Amino acid sequence: MNLGPTEEQQMVKDQVARFVDEEIKPNAAEWDKTHKHPEDICRKLGEMGIMGVAVSPDYGGAGMDNVTYVMCMIEISRGCASTGVIVSVNNSLYGYPVRVFGTHEQKEKFLAPVASGQVEGCYALTESGAGSDAAALRCRAVLKGDKYIVNGVKKFITSGNVARYCVLAATEHPEKGYKGLITLIADHDHTPGFSLGTIEEKMGILASGTAELVYEDAEIPAENLLGKTGDGFKQMMTGLNAGRIGIGAQACGIGRAVVEDCIEYAKERVQFGKPITSFQAIQWKLADMATELDAAELLLLKAAWMEDNDLDFEKESAQAKMYASDVAMRAAVEGVQIFGGYGYCKDYPAERHMRDAKICQIYEGTNEIQRVVIARKLLGAR
């Protein structure tokens, strides 16, 4: 068993790590404060191939694998969790369904610009009444001639305020339940009837916009249908599996940032005449964080490897996302504790990490839902 990265994987990881330390991490606090979308960074990451890591070069991507993607996501999120989730959505929630289910023409038109980092993509599933119960969505798409007429409101859409392209989940036949779901690709720059709704005021990941998308008799060409009617639910579920790997890697990166910051601070913080790193209470906190994060990374790499090898990775992606996000949250809480009073103040990164970590336990399926997925696979239930 070889758990080491290939030479190419290590080279890409090192390149991304340098970029993070030089251009992302020094700006993360300011982006958080101003809620600024890191557009220039996204363009540069696109030039590096990181906005479409596992996408073929024929469609604007880097042609690498999902193991490399996990490594890159951890490094990017170590520098800025907001940038991490933008990269994750481009690669997984948007990129995965277009890459896997799209036609050659759809990939050329809708995948290449996103995978090359020219523009952002987003994924619109969640509604006010459809979150964990993804099949309960009410957004309606009616085929009229060569267009779908779409009506509905999508909630909590990551990058929805900046994304040009959107993978949109809707129902064509509500009476058929989940069998009536479809997936459309919308070009928001050329979708009559589309408008941007509320931009949410959130606890964390503040440099990543979370938006409401409004479709009022919106017109989307019929040729933008992914697959066929009835494929939507299957596409939704497999896309979420891929997305969970990205979010787990985001969480792991946040945890890595917590450990780095805590070690640096604890070496300098003196109490009772000695650095607090000399106290066993601090040492044990750091040891627990590091151990759990290493375990989380191994789960993520396993899930990514299974995806790369066309194996069923539903359970593994759920395990990786659930565990990594729980670990990140525990690390973030302990990080604030190590920083003490300073950890509660915005002058230090500990409070930002704590705010950023929490959402990882919620989006891409709450951790309660992940446990349902895992148990269902263990019990052989459908």
Could you confirm whether domain 236-379 is CATH 3.40.640.10?
no
Give the residue from 151, 137, 153 showing the smallest Cα distance to 197: 153
- Write down the pLDDT at residue 276: 97
Report pLDDT for 230. 85
Least confident of 87-91, 121-125, 129-133, 194-198: 129-133
Residues acting as catalytic residues: 364
Strands 165-171, 274-275: pairing kind: unpaired
Q: Check residue 381 and give its pLDDT.
A: 67
Residue bearing the bigger pLDDT, 134 or 128: 128
Which pair of tokens denotes residue 90? 């481009």
- Model confidence at 282, pLDDT cuts 50, 70, 90, reads very high
* Intervals of CATH 2.40.110.10 along the chain: 122-232
Cα(85)–Cα(82) distance, integer angstroms: 5
Q: From residue 164, how far is each of 123, 205, 232, 317 by CA, in Å?
A: 11, 20, 21, 28
Q: How confident is the model at residue 69 (pLDDT cuts 50, 70, 90)?
A: very high
- In the chain, CATH 1.20.140.10 covers 236-379
pTM of full prediction above 0.75: yes
Q: What is the mean pLDDT of the chain?
A: 96
> Per-residue pLDDT for 132 more than 90?
no
Please state the CATH superfamily assignment of the domain spanning residues 122-232 in this structure. Answer: Butyryl-CoA Dehydrogenase, subunit A, domain 2 (2.40.110.10)
Partner residues linked to 150 by β-bridges? 141, 218
- pLDDT for 382 equals 59
- The CATH number corresponding to 7-120 among 2.40.50.140, 1.25.40.10, 1.10.150.120, 1.10.540.10 equals 1.10.540.10
Residue 175 vs residues 138, 171, 181, 235, 245: alpha-carbon distances, Å: 11, 9, 10, 19, 33
pLDDT score of 219 more than 90: yes
Q: What are phi and psi of 279, to 5 degrees?
A: -90, 135
- Checking if the pLDDT of 131 tops 90, the result is no
